[in-house]
Amino acid sequence: MPVRIQTEDFEAGREIANLRRDNAAVGAIASFIGVVRDLNDGAKVAGMTLEHYPGMTEKSIAGIIEQAKERWNIHDALVVHRVGELKPLDQIVLVAVTGAHRGEAFSACEFIMDYLKTHAPFWKKEQTPGGSRWVEARESDDVAVQRWQSKA
Amino acid sequence: MITILYFASLRENLGRGAEQIALPTGTCDLKSLRALLRARGAAWGQAMADGSRVRAAVNQDLAGDDAAIKDGDEIAFFPPVTGG
């Protein structure tokens, strides 16, 4: 499965080893890991709860991976995203892409992450000293994804 | 019947995560469904207002106001996404 949503932690090395296993055509692997910070919008973050839309979230990310495969010559891609209770230092998301060359792997990895941030149904609720709050979507994420729309 | 799901802050503000309703006559797209829900008043009016930032999906695909709705569909409303 190129998309996994889970509460458990993941081990990037093992995931990447599985992704490229026995494929000698792979010459490049690009990966991204998102982690929980202890500060957001000026408030100390003690932890967060990540919610998703079971079914649509997987479908949405699978569609993003398909778009990346149409756009760049890559071999494979994997997205692992955690949900549930997370705290600072915890890993949230892994995106890994294999390809023949680094340029396409880097681009596809960034594309998948930018689209995931703006299109895949996940919502974060942070616990701060002032109480719990839903994280607001960032305009900078919309700007990041628009770059790919202008690069036809 | 259609199934309507609500997520994150919307679920909290509206006080429910899911409901099933009979598709009323004349409700044929997301815009008319929003209008129907808006008429419930209070928090619904704000959440379903035209131009609100609430997103929608029909059968698990993001959808705009003109998206068609038919019996048996799964509709979801949710705030802008914040994963990753």
- The answer to whether position B72 is within a domain reads yes
Query: How far apart are the C-alpha atoms of A79 and A116, rounded to whole Å?
Result: 10
User: What number of other Cβ atoms are within 10 A of residue A74's Cβ?
Assistant: 23
Q: What was the ipTM of the complex prediction?
A: 0.93
- The answer to whether position B84 is within a domain reads no
Quick one: how far is CA A110 from the chain centroid? 9
Query: How far apart are the C-alpha atoms of B48 and B32, rounded to whole Å?
Result: 11
CATH code of the domain covering residue B19? 3.10.20.30
Q: How many structural domains comprise chain B?
A: 1
Whether B62 has its CB under 8 Å from any CB of chain A: the answer is yes
Whole-model pTM: value is: 0.94
For residue B23, the distance in angstroms to the closest alpha carbon of chain A comes to 22
Interface touch B83/A122, C-beta < 8 Å: yes
Whether A84 has its CB under 8 Å from any CB of chain B: the answer is no
Query: Would you write out chain B's pLDDT as a tens digit for each of its 84 residues?
Result: 999 999 999 999 999 999 999 998 878 899 999 999 999 988 999 999 877 889 999 999 999 999 999 999 999 999 999 999
User: What number of other Cβ atoms are within 10 A of residue B46's Cβ?
Assistant: 13
**Beta bridge pairs of residue B3:** B20, B74
* Chain A residues touching residue B58 (CB < 8 angstroms): none
All domains of chain A, ordered by start, with CATH? 3-150 (3.90.1170.40)
Interface touch A135/B57, C-beta < 8 Å: no
- The answer to whether position B59 is within a domain reads yes
Interface touch A123/B82, C-beta < 8 Å: yes
